[in-house]
A and B are shown apart, each in its own frame.
Chain A
Amino acid sequence: MAIRLEKPWIELTAEAVGSLPGQLGVYQLADADGRVVSIGFAGGRSLFGLRSELERMVRERPAGATRFRYEVNQQYTTRYLELLMLHVADHGSLPEMNAADPPVRLGRLSPL
Chain B
Amino acid sequence: MNLEPTEEQRQIVATVRRFVREEIVPLEAKLDPDASELPREDFERLTGMVRAMGFWGLDIPAEYGGAGVDLVTRTLMAVEMGQHRAGLYAPCYGVFGTAGLAQLYEATEEQKQKYLYPMLRGEKRGFFGLTEPSGGSDPARAIRTRAVKDGSDWVINGSKVFISGADRAHFGLVFARTDAEKGRGGITCFIVDTDMKGFHVRRIVHTLRSSNYATELQFEDLRVPHSNVLGEVGRGFAIANDRLTRQRIPYAAACIGVAVKAQELAIDYAQQRETFGAPLATRQAVQWMIVDNEIDIRTSLWLTLAAAHKADSGQPYRMEAGMAKLVASEAGGRVVDRAMQIHGGYGMTKDLPFERWYREMRIRRVGEGPSEVQRHVIARDLLGGGLR
Contacts and interface: CB of A to CB of B under 8 A. Distances in A.
Interface stretch (A31-39, A51-59, A102-110): A102-110
A108 B201 CA distance: 7
Of residues B32, B166, B215, which shows the largest number of chain A Cβ atoms within 10 Å of its Cβ?
B32
A76 B34 contact: yes
Nearest to A109: B201
Given A104-B39, A105-B37, A43 B32 contact: yes
Given A76-B34, A77-B34, A104-B39, A111 B210 contact: no
Interface string A86-112: 000000000000000001111111111
Contacts of B38: 104
B167 A109 contact: yes
Contacts of B43: 104
B167 A44 contact: no
Given A78-B213, A81-B213, A107 B167 contact: yes
B172 to A, nearest CB: 13
Given A81-B213, A82-B203, A82-B204, A108 B167 contact: yes
B206 interface: yes
A104 B38 CA distance: 8
B37 A104 contact: yes
A81 B203 CA distance: 11
B350 interface: yes
Contacts of B213: 78, 81
Contacts of A107: 166-168, 201, 215
B35 interface: yes
Interface residues of A, number: 23
B167 A75 contact: no
Interface residues of B, number: 25
A85 B200 CA distance: 13
Contact of A78 (B166, B201, B206): B206
Interface in B37-93: 37-40, 43
Nearest to A105: B168
B36 interface: yes
A60 B161 CA distance: 40
Contacts of B203: 1, 3, 82, 109, 111
Nearest to B217: A110
B202 interface: yes
A108 B47 CA distance: 25
Given A85-B167, A105-B168, A77 B204 contact: no
A79 interface: yes
Given A75-B206, A104-B39, A104-B43, A44 B168 contact: no
Contacts of B194: 108
Contacts of A85: 167, 204
A109 B203 CA distance: 6
Interface in B192-211: 194, 200-204, 206-207, 210
Given A85-B167, A104-B43, A78 B210 contact: yes
* 4 residue pairs, one from A and one from B, having the closest CB atoms: A107-B167, A44-B350, A44-B33, A43-B32
Given A109-B202, A109-B204, 13 more contacts: A43-B34, A75-B207, A78-B213, A79-B204, A79-B206, A81-B204, A85-B167, A103-B37, A104-B37, A104-B43, A105-B168, A107-B168, A108-B168
Interface of A: 1, 3, 43-45, 75-79, 81-82, 85, 103-112
Interface of B: 32-40, 43, 166-168, 194, 200-204, 206-207, 210, 213, 215, 350
